Structure 1
């Protein structure tokens, strides 16, 4: 999930019991399974790539490289705002208008089901994609009813960034593996530096909150949906996860300002030296390690798996896939450009330029890359063990329900018991449609 625009933002992961209910509402217009044959991806010429803001600048570099090699098939970058909800809204508006403006769309992994079901994106020729080269969870995000509608461009597993220098000075020798370990370490650091905050994540009311809230529940042994695809969020395990966050705001180990944080706000707070711990995606590693004076934590931070209630926690699976708009021209160029951006060479290029999580499994085991990016083994395990967000064609409604419940609990508008009970009811209604 570089950022969750997200994380991410999987349709074949819909549990069998849920799929039947979803297909009635999702495929009323013929469904994703009746997409135009992928052999019909024809036409060469100029195209556009549509994505969130290119904060690293590397997408421009990659496009320049393509354009130099293909002067008659130039790609123009269309940058959307940073936040996921606005990106999705603008893509949906373009699709519903059936305009040809958007060619290749960079989509959060949780949007593939909706876009495919509404026949907004093309089914892709799987035989032309090196599917066996990708981390298995990333490939599954690109499918809808077992058919390929996108190609994994970047994966995401959340990491715990921490101030190794501050922990060492406070006599803490190991990264925390539990929430109790983390808060205890904070107290030791704050005994020496009372002004520094303890921990933050992304708790503004947007897609990132869905990821953080789900992680807390999953890291306490709970779940949003059970193995049968039915809501199962009103449980003691889920409450334990939510209470970790609720108590964090009450007791102050999560700063109140975190209620306004998305990825970039929380990244800046840690990068400016205001926090001991931060939960974020791997793209921030390069920002924290910047040597141009922009980072106050360069050389002072380390990474670890997310902590949980009784041991290591569980990340939400994030990432971005590339898909082709049903309504664009020059679809063969679009397909070839996707192959270029998602090939091993450009995945390696993008990793080294941005620290985004690659999708090619081999890159995580490359000794030279691991020496340069020591977070790769931790990140690989984070991705392989990550849990997906609830896969539903009406995902935006599901995510909105989770965000509403989370906000009510975190702000104290409702108790965690009330918020979870109401979320159980709301999800049951949504997934019964």
Structure 2
């Protein structure tokens, strides 16, 4: 994050700090901030305790930088933090152990996510919502051009080109075939990991923590993606995050979009240009011999170990991650619960027709190598997304970029990455 942004945020947090209230940071992608404020207000009404909701940067890298500065100084300016699924290992030393305060309620949640949030035997965060990458498509346009939903990346490329060209010839010069997250940030690591795994190109690190990116399948995957830029994807995709991609798709100017489940509810709103015309499926395979791959995402709620009232903060976390609140969030904004029982809830299934299938796809979702790289994950991911971005931007070919990345990762951890080191 730029120093000026951090300084502004720290200044605002200082102004908000009050000993007799809690401060919670929430994301603001899609409807996150609105829903957070609503649920916090419900808890405040029930308990009589004031809570101040702090908006933090949408960009996950900037948000992590802000958290690290605040926590690194031992500040109590934020009591409850919304943290990414890959941050427990990075921030664990600054987070409170919630296990003595949960009365076992973490057992209602997906065991894999609870395990992800447990560092050194300490439960440092509670699961709030979970994600997996999805392919959104325009049902009406596929029907108009008599095209099947693509099962492989090659089929997606061909279909996107056909419909894009047809729509432009009909007068929509803003139409693009495929939009996704191409900015050099964590979102690109998610997209690129899906490309690699779908081509059997590895998961950045192998199970022993050693670099596994330098292989022909990975190079083929990145070469494929680079071919989209300026062809079926705008050159501006190199600066797209989730919201930029959603903006283009929801305005009716893209055939396909890669995004997280939150985009479904927004696409169905009355002011959406594509309301009722969107379908959702698993992301394509790398080829006939490839596999469907979706990066596991999601966010957690953690309590700062510097909070003045950690028990009260933990009570807020347990309320916000409860079945009641997770159902509200699923119904109003298609945020995926971390409580398995909710995936068979008839109300949720009516509101989110694809969520039942998503339950099964999540069991096969690909985790980023954060568990094995521990505190060094952000450094590793930064190296990965920058290498991928160089390929997408035409600054390097895939084979060269991956070879250089392999050297860099080995230099960073000569014996391989190890969790917590």
Q: Name the TM-score, length of structure 1 as normaliser.
A: 0.85
Q: Which moved more, 1:335-344 or 1:144-153?
A: 144-153
1:144 aligns with 2:127: no
Q: Please say if residues 162 and 278 of structure 1, whose CA atoms lie closer than 8 Å, have aligned partners that are also in contact.
A: yes
Match of 1:423 in 2: 405
1:271 aligns with 2:250: yes
Q: Structure 2 CA distance, aligned partners of 1:225 and 1:377?
A: 31
Shift of the alpha carbon at 1:191? 4.5
Paired residue secondary structure (1:303): strand
Deviation per CA, 1:258-293, whole angstroms, max 9, x where unpaired?
1110011000010011110000001111111111x2
1:399 aligns with 2:387: no
Q: Structure 1 CA distance, aligned partners of 2:245 and 2:357?
A: 21
Match of 1:243 in 2: 223
Shift of the alpha carbon at 1:45? 5.1
Q: Structure 1 CA distance, aligned partners of 2:349 and 2:164?
A: 33
Shift of the alpha carbon at 1:312? 4.7
1:304 aligns with 2:278: no
Q: Name the TM-score, length of structure 2 as normaliser.
A: 0.87
In structure 2, relative to structure 1, the CA distance for the partners of 1:69 and 1:45 (3 Å cut) is farther
Q: Please say if residues 26 and 36 of structure 2, whose CA atoms lie closer than 8 Å, have aligned partners that are also in contact.
A: no
Q: Structure 2 CA distance, aligned partners of 1:390 and 1:91?
A: 21
Equivalent of 1:153, from 128, 153, 157?
A: 128
Match of 1:9 in 2: none
Equivalent residue runs for 1:84-233 within 5 Å: 84-116=60-92, 119-125=93-99, 128-172=103-147, 174-194=148-168, 195=173, 196-223=175-202, 224-233=204-213
Match of 2:232 in 1: 253
Q: Structure 2 CA distance, aligned partners of 1:418 and 1:188?
A: 32
Task: Give the number of equivalent residue pairs.
Answer: 383
Paired residue secondary structure (1:249): coil
RMSD: 1.7
User: Which ranges in structure 2 are unaligned for 5 or more consecutive residues?
Assistant: 1-18, 415-420
Divergent runs of 4+, >6 A: none
Match of 1:410 in 2: 392
Equivalent residue runs for 1:43-58 within 5 Å: 46-53=21-28, 55-56=30-31, 57-58=34-35
Match of 1:330 in 2: 309
Paired residue secondary structure (2:255): strand
In structure 2, relative to structure 1, the CA distance for the partners of 1:312 and 1:365 (3 Å cut) is farther
Q: Please say if residues 132 and 365 of structure 2, whose CA atoms lie closer than 8 Å, have aligned partners that are also in contact.
A: yes
User: Which ranges in structure 1 are unaligned for 5 or more consecutive residues?
Assistant: 1-43
Q: Please say if residues 316 and 388 of structure 1, whose CA atoms lie closer than 8 Å, have aligned partners that are also in contact.
A: yes
Q: Structure 2 CA distance, aligned partners of 1:425 and 1:375?
A: 41
Paired residue secondary structure (2:314): helix
Q: Structure 1 CA distance, aligned partners of 2:339 and 2:330?
A: 11
Match of 1:369 in 2: 348
